[in-house]
A and B are shown apart, each in its own frame.
Chain A
Amino acid sequence: MKSIVTDLYSAYYAPYIKESYREDEAIFKSRFQRTWFALLVFALVALPPFMGGYHTFFMTQVLIAVIGAHGLNILLGYTGQISLGHAAFLGVGGYTYSYLAMVLHWPFWLAIPASGLTAAGLGLFIGIPSLRIKGIYLGVATIAFQFIADYTYFHWTTFSGGPQGRAVEAPAFFGYAMTSPLSFYYICLFMAVVLLWGAKNLMRSKYGRCLMAVRDNDISAEALGVPVFKYKILAFVISSFYAGVAGALLVIHLRNVYPAFFHLNVSIEYLAIIIVGGMGTVMGTIFGALFIVLVPEILSNLISSLAQWAHNPDITVLMAPMRLIIHGFLIILFILIEPAGLAGIWRRISSYWKIWPLPYI
């Protein structure tokens, strides 16, 4: 009897046994994880053509939020440096793209990385205060950057187009304009997969370990030969690169660039994404972005059907600020109840199923 149980057990766990260090350090460690991931990617690639414009538009929005939010996650979740000016970096990317693509007529595949690099270059300077200040004070310093950026976007009209913004055309690939939301969805999907995969790779390399060491204990990091300041700056640079790319994609997605896209409340929204999703994990960014983009969408559908039902269009106007209230409420709720975020809940459930049905052998 005993041997049947142990045989079953070893058959069940065979896929978890690793034979090399390389296998042990793989992102997807088991065959099950790899299978599920392959199915997910297949669904993301194959389903959109059948989903219709609205859902494709929505999914694109989520992918852009994923890219931008993972930038903030690298800075706050992995390195422990708070930034309340993340939207300003998205703005740098968005405006740089609009200028490069619309005024200088660069092709999109050059202008998007260039927008990311411009934001990264600025991140290099904005990160400097982190040498001396930590925590909430750094948060305040980055708010200052947010306000300076807001002002600049509004008033530096030759670069930004000013308060009335600037129209952004659909990207063209060697003369062929990709006006359909579907082709742009695939561009965003490609960018998101590459950037998340790269970020995951970084976190299993020396660079990621140093970033996390800075977050967890900067004194012992220093004593182990980690140049703490260099890695703080690196975190700002990577983070703003991701934000810059997300900003460029956002203005293409919305076909326009306005100062209002990059206000402080957008910074808070990104903060909400990684707090609700779970800091310091890729899973957290994905869950959070999906959740934060999904909730207001469902809510506004609910409100408009409520307004229709009550024959009172004023309800829509009245409920307009609900989005921000919901974000604030979610941040408080998750910090209090589930600091590990949706990713933490996910990890608990999946580790339960990993040992089910033979947990105690």
Chain B
Amino acid sequence: MTETSILRVESVSLSFGGIQALNRVDLEVLPGEILAIIGPNGAGKTSLLNCINGLYRPDSGHIFFENLDITPLKAHKRARLRMGRTFQHTELFAGMTVLDNIKSGRTMDIQANFFGAFFHVGKAVREEMKHRRELEETVIDFLDLNHVREQPVAMLPHGLQKRVDLARALALNPKVLLLDEPMAGMNIEEKEDMASFFLDIHRDLGATLIWIEHDLSTVMNLSDRICVLNFGEKIALGTPDEVRQEPDVIEAYLGQEEAG
């Protein structure tokens, strides 16, 4: 399995002061799968995502991406390996337009030198227009953001902001896409739209999706495998059916819901 995994988390621990956010978590992600991370509040889901894309440095353990040890790499270097990321509380560039937000996902692909950009000549302009066309024809069209592209993101409603966040991550042509509660605060229709976007991304772009979600029925329907975290420990990993049977999970997560 080691040979085939696209992302491997090896015994990663992370603590904030006295709180153990992650305790020796192991996880292997297969290329092209949809893997959900679930767990109660404070289980360490976002911390795990932050360790994977480099916003947090784990206290111990290693993270491999396509068999390359990326533990010492900073977040922007990891993004350059085509690791996209969206955020729980949309962390968009509030002062920029939708288009500029999405374009900023292409930073690593634009080679133009400073003086070309300063004088707006030659390769710099051609490159800019090439990426503009690509983004328009793929990401913007795909996520149906045509009508808002010139608007400042701060003016958009929450559901659209979430979509811009996803578009920005897609703009960097991710091999792995880390999505932190992409459906939080959405109504059923918006969730359904989002779910269909996921399946399209997965099918058309062949990206591996790792996502955090609280809505269990959506998780069970969309995911190939589910990883359950509780108090920083991985308590289960498997297909939705396997996870549903797991006594630890029922006790830690589902059981609570039933009791409540």
Q: How far is the CA of A210 from the CA of B120 in the complex (A)?
A: 17
Check A227 against B76 for contact (C-beta < 8 Å): yes
A280 at the interface (CB under 8 A from B): yes
Interfacial residues of chain B within 83-100, with CB under 8 A of chain A in the complex: 85, 87, 91-96, 100
Interface status of B26 (Cβ within 8 A of chain A): no
Number of A-B contacts (CB under 8 A): 104
**Does B124 sit within 8 A of A, measured CB to CB?**
yes
Q: Which residues of B contact A216 (CB under 8 A)?
A: 92-96
Cβ contacts under 8 Å, A21 to chain B: 129, 132-133, 136
Cβ-based interface call for A43 (8 A): no
- Give the interface SS of chain A, mostly helix, strand, loop or mixed: helix
Within 8 A of A (CB), among B79-134: 79-80, 85, 87, 91-96, 100, 103-108, 110, 112, 114, 117-120, 124-125, 128-129, 132-133
Other than the given A223-B55, A223-B79, 17 more pairs (CB < 8 A) read A21-B132, A21-B136, A202-B118, A206-B107, A207-B114, A207-B117, A210-B104, A212-B100, A216-B95, A217-B91, A220-B93, A222-B75, A222-B76, A223-B53, A223-B87, A225-B76, A225-B107
User: Contact between A212 and B128 (Cβ–Cβ < 8 Å)?
Assistant: no
A49 within 8 A of partner (CB): no
Q: Which residues of B contact A206 (CB under 8 A)?
A: 103, 106-107, 110, 112, 117, 128
8 cross-chain CB contacts under 8 A = A205-B117, A209-B100, A220-B93, A222-B75, A223-B54, A223-B55, A224-B104, A226-B104
Most chain A CB within a 10 A radius of its CB, from B87, B93, B136: B93
A213 within 8 A of B: yes
Complex Cα spacing A25 to B117, Å: 13
B120 and A201 contacting across the interface, CB-CB below 8 Å = yes
Q: Mark A215-251, 1 if CB is under 8 A from B, else 0.
A: 1110111111111100000000000000000000000
Contacts of A217 in B (CB 8 A): 91-94
| Shortest distance from the beta carbon of B63 to any chain A beta carbon, whole Å | 15
Q: How far is the CA of A213 from the CA of B108 in the complex (A)?
A: 14
Nearest 4 pairs of A and B residues by beta carbon: A225-B79, A205-B117, A216-B93, A220-B91
Report chain A residues within 8 Å CB of B168.
224
Q: Report the minimal beta-carbon distance from A302 to chain B, rounded to whole angstroms.
A: 38
In the bound complex, CA of A215 to CA of B100 (Å): 14
Which residues does B use to contact A, with CB under 8 Å?
53-55, 74-76, 79-80, 85, 87, 91-96, 100, 103-108, 110, 112, 114, 117-120, 124-125, 128-129, 132-133, 136, 168-169, 172
Whether B119 and A198, one on each chain, are in contact in the complex, defined by CB atoms closer than 8 angstroms, is yes
For B92, list chain A residues within 8 Å (CB). 216-217, 220
Q: Taking the nearest CB of chain B, how far is it from the CB of A121, in angstroms?
A: 16
Question: Closest residue of chain A to B87, judged by CB?
Answer: A220
Our pick among A22, A201, A212 for the contact of B93 (Cβ within 8 Å) is: A212
Question: Taking the nearest CB of chain B, how far is it from the CB of A206, in angstroms?
Answer: 4
B103 touches A209 (CB 8 A): yes
**Nearest Cβ distance between residue A13 and chain B, in whole angstroms?**
15
State whether A228 and B119 are in contact (beta carbons under 8 Å apart), knowing that A21-B136, A216-B96, A219-B55 are contacts in the complex. no
> B128, A205: Cβ atoms under 8 Å?
yes
Query: In the bound complex, do residue A22 and residue B96 qualify as a contact, i.e. CB atoms below 8 Å apart?
Result: no
Query: How far apart are the CA atoms of A236 and B79 in the complex, in Å?
Result: 25
B120 to A221, Cβ gap below 8 A? no
Q: Is the CB of A209 within 8 A of B104?
A: yes
Asked whether A213 and B117 contact (CB < 8 A) given A205-B112, A205-B128, the answer is no
- In the assembled complex, the Cα of A212 lies from the Cα of B107 at a distance in Å of 12
Given contacts A210-B104, A219-B55, A223-B75, contact A205 B124 (CB under 8 A): yes
Closest B residue, CB atoms, query A216: B93
Least CB distance, A17 to chain B, in whole angstroms = 14
Nearest-neighbor residue (CB-CB) of A279 within chain B: B95
User: Which residues of A sit under 8 angstroms from B114, Cβ to Cβ?
Assistant: 207
User: Residues of B contacting A207 with CB < 8 Å?
Assistant: 114, 117
CB distance from A261 to the nearest CB of B (A): 28
The interface residues of chain A lying within 8 Å CB-to-CB of B76 are 222-228
- CB-CB under 8 A for A215 and B95, given A201-B119, A225-B172, A228-B76: yes
**Within the complex, what minimum Cβ distance (angstroms) separates A34 from chain B?**
16
Among residues of B, the one whose C-beta sits closest to the C-beta of A225 is B79
Closest to B110 in A: A206
> B74: which A residues are within 8 A, CB to CB?
222, 227
Task: Tell me which residues across on chain A come within 8 A of B133, comparing CB atoms.
Answer: 21
**Shortest Cβ gap from A322 to chain B (Å):** 35
Which chain A residues numbered 191 to 214 have a C-beta less than 8 Å away from chain B?
A: 198, 201-202, 204-207, 209-210, 212-213
Give chain A interface residues in 153-207, CB to chain B under 8 Å: 198, 201-202, 204-207
Query: Which B residues lie within 8 Å of A221 (CB)?
Result: 93, 104
Residues on B with beta carbons closer than 8 Å to the beta carbon of A205 = 110, 112, 117, 120, 124, 128
> Shortest beta-carbon distance, A187 to chain B, in Å?
19
Partner of A225, one of B91, B108, B120, B132: B108
With a CB–CB cut-off of 8 A, which chain B residues contact A210?
A: 104, 107
Interchain CB contact under 8 A, B94 and A223: no
Distance in angstroms between the alpha carbons of A59 and B103 in the assembled complex: 38
CB-CB under 8 A from A219, the residues of chain B are 55, 91
* A25 in contact with B79 given A209-B104, A212-B100, A216-B95 (CB within 8 Å): no
Contacts of B110 in A (CB 8 A): 205-206
Chain A residue numbers with a CB within 8 Å of B104 are 209-210, 213, 221, 224, 226
A209–B124 Cα distance when bound, in Å, is 14
A228 to B104 Cα, complex, angstroms: 13
Closest chain B residue to A26, Cβ basis: B120
Q: In the complex, what residues of A have CB within 8 A of residue B107's CB? A: 206, 209-210, 224-226
